[in-house]
Amino acid sequence: MSDSLGENTLTTTSPEGPSRAGGGATTAPSPARRPRRPADWRKRGEIALLTGPAVVMFLAFVIFPVIMAAYYGFFRWKGFGPPTDFVGLDNYLAIFRDSTFHDALMHNGFIVVMSLMLQGPAAIALALLLNQRMRGRSVVRVLIFVPYVISEVIVGTGWALMLRTTGALNDLLEKAGLDALTADWLADPDVAIWSLMIIITWKYIGFAVILFLAGLQSIPEELFEAAAIDGASYWQMQRSITLPLLGPTIRIWAFLSIIGSLQLFDLVYIIWGQYVAATAGTSTMATYMVVNGRNAANYGFGNAVAVVLFLISMVIALVYQRFVLRRDTEGALTERKKR
């Protein structure tokens, strides 16, 4: 597998020799001065040498496992020895008939939508706020990224202790005289998914803010100066300059957020464990996969779930790229050729 692509990169470069000699003179004058053939071989060698290790690693540990998942998914297999018990599409049929999987899928859908709606507007507002001149801005920036930097396990452990019935949140509510608001934040199926949304928002909003801040900083200052001369107010400038120019960043963030929500595993598995998640109404496709695949020593089935998760993510990613990201990425990849 890995070897074949190593060759592939080489073979795809070879027919390019003559075409490059023609176009090379106009685009890159310096290599053209050297004798062509040795330089070409050298270039190919350099390309293979420099990209080889990364390509091999990537194919071996990212692409190969994904392909193997598709293969294993057709077997009933306990994970030892070669898979022999071919069951065709049985695993997939079992997945689509399983109501716990439907629940997990619904939860993922809810998390995707709510993550965008909760984090997006809040993160844009915060990025605008933190882009202003204020004392202690750098300290504030570091502090709001703390939740994003600490691990899911720490977040999960800490929040689980705070949210348990005898935890800090209920205690605070009682002290404030809001007994009516106390709840079984983690076990009550009506409440648990909202607790999860709060934790997710708290954990990941820092990342959105980082991205938006970076996006804001690359908006040319002159635009705001011109707008100020024309008498635009602060809010008019944000609406007519900042938001449109921040568009590409927002679209990329939304993409990453959607994919992240579909693949959500760590927080749910840590807080709700492998058995409670389904009953508390917070299970996701990924926790379903681990619980029914690896933990049940049913690797064929687990791989089939992985394939379903993969296909759902890929369809959504492709649709999103086709209809939303298209104008952003178009320039990035084709730019060189046009020149």
Partner 1 sequence: MTASAVTAPPLPADRPVRRKRGGGRLGRSGPMTYLIAFFFVGICIGPVAYIVLGGFRSNSQIITSPSGFPSPWEIGNYLDVLSSEIFWRQMGNSAISAIATTLGVVVLGVMASYVLARYDFRGRTALYSLFAAGLMFPMTVAITPLYILVRELGLMNSLPGIILPQIAFALPTTIIILVPFLRAIPKELEEAAAIDGASRLGFFFRMVVPLSLPGVITTGILAFIASWNSYMLPLFILNDEGMYTLPLGVQAFSAQYSVDTARVLAFTSLSMIPALIFFSLFEKRIVGGLTGAVKG
Find the binding residues for partner 1 in span 226-285 (CB under 8 A). Answer: 228, 234, 237, 248-249, 252, 259-260, 263, 265-266, 270
92 part of the interface to partner 1, by CB under 8 A: no
Print the SS3 string covering 165-180: CCCHHHHHHHHCCCHH
Subset of 4-23 contacting partner 1 (CB under 8 A):
8-9, 12-13, 15-16, 20
CB of 51 to partner 1, least distance (A): 5
Angle at 286 between CA 80 and CA 91, to 5 degrees: 55
In degrees and rounded to multiples of 5, residue 162 shows phi and psi of: -70, -35
Instruction: Enumerate the β-bridge partners of residue 76.
Output: 85
CB of 241 to partner 1, least distance (A): 9
**Where in the chain does DSSP place strands (E)?**
75-76, 85-86
**Quick one: which segment of 100-108, 110-118, 184-192, 222-230 binds partner 1 (CB under 8 A)?**
222-230
54 part of the interface to partner 1, by CB under 8 A: yes
CB of 93 to partner 1, least distance (A): 19
Subset of 299-318 contacting partner 1 (CB under 8 A):
299, 302-303, 306, 309-310, 313-314, 317
152 part of the interface to partner 1, by CB under 8 A: yes
Tokens of 88: 């065709």
Nearer to partner 1, 117 or 154 (CB): 154
331 part of the interface to partner 1, by CB under 8 A: yes
- 3-class SS at 212? helix
CA distance 48 to 253: 33
CA distance 102 to 285: 9
